Amino acid sequence: MKYDSILGTVGDTPVIRINRLAPEGVNLFVKCEYFNPLSSVKDRLALGVIEAAEKSGDLKPGQTVVEATSGNTGIGLAMVCAAKGYPLVVTMAESFSVERRKLMRFLGAKVILTPAAQKGTGMVEKAKELADKNGWFLTRQFENEANPDMHERTTGREIVDAFKGEKLDYWVTGFGTGGTLTGVSRVLKKESPDTKIVVCEPPDAAMLASGAPQERNADGSPKTSHPAWTPHPIQGWSPDFIPRITSEAVEAGVIDQIVKTPPAEGMKWSQALAQREGIFTGISGGSTFCGAMEVAKSAPKGTTILAMLPDTGERYLSTPLFADVAADMDAEEVEISRSTPGYQLSD
């Protein structure tokens, strides 16, 4: 196919059946968002918020764009801004993976690191400070309605079309900004009302399950960290506050079930997807899949489940996900290198 620019390739990601890991009698699928051009679901958000700002006139030609990000939104924005000619500055807590900041810089963005101790709220406040000081356009991914609107137009529509004529019993997702959750749930509740919406969050940051309210500033941004949050290794998931967009889904009552997914289990499932299905996703994808497997445990035969896989495993090379993956040959690989004809690998 021919495209006028890289931006035309955003969306239309595949829904793929899980064959070897799915429990018997359960139809388990994943939607692989790493098929987006910069390998994550946040490519959709980036394109949606920039084009909405262009349309409204809030973003002027040549104006600098600024955003707080754990990485994937910044990478998506770097792609969009490069294609459209906007300078980009991102703020990012120093605790997030090194490869993310390198990717953004490679794409031409400036990356301002904020202290890990200030968590997600710190990088958000820094982005606001820079926007106010310099007259830059702040995309406000955690409050911007263009974010869920993009998912309503694209992701939700794709899911409904993929299961046209079939019953989709469960849709499983995590949340970062809440754009995917809120946008897709609008479509499912209208066009597939029997589909149950399952949201995953780490036990150490079970903010939705806690029911505790989020303190907010007048613009909807977080005033403080949420009381139920503690640090966790699922990058892109569950910042230290409940985004206003996520709160929309909570207040609308669209969430049917909340599943707590331990990060260690998520990492195990990420590796299992790679080694048993050839599907390469990160910690957030593995954790969402963990939630789907939890749902499948009690699901009757014939149940159909779809899990979102937000990004690629390559975003996590410097994280605990790859801690046990060696760069050098292990003993078995050395033995293979020396083996005679007829040598067989162990199971």
Query: Which of the residues are catalytic?
Result: 42, 284
Name 242's Cβ contacts closer than 8 Å, sequence gap at least 6: 207, 208, 214, 222, 226, 250
Matching residue, tokens 């106010």: 132
**Pairing status of strand 27-32 against strand 15-17:** antiparallel
Sheet of strand 65-68, all strands in order from the earlier edge strand to the far edge: 110-114, 88-93, 65-68, 137-138
310-341 in b/e form (b: 16+ CB < 10 A) is bbbbebbeebebeeeeeeeeeeeeeeeeeeee
Both tokens of 133, joined, read 């000081």
Ramachandran sector of residue 25 (left: φ over 0; alpha: ψ -120 to 50; beta: rest): left
The DSSP annotation for 103-150 comes to HHHHTT-EEEEE-GGGHHHHHHHHHHHHHHHHTPEE--TTT-THHHHH
Both tokens of 213, joined, read 């309210």
Name 224's Cβ contacts closer than 8 Å, sequence gap at least 6: 121, 215, 241
Helix, strand or coil for residue 29? strand
Both tokens of 81, joined, read 């801004």
Is the Cβ–Cβ distance between 127 and 109 less than 8 Å?
no
Is the Cβ–Cβ distance between 32 and 25 less than 8 Å?
no
Count of CB atoms situated within 10 Å of the CB of 106: 10
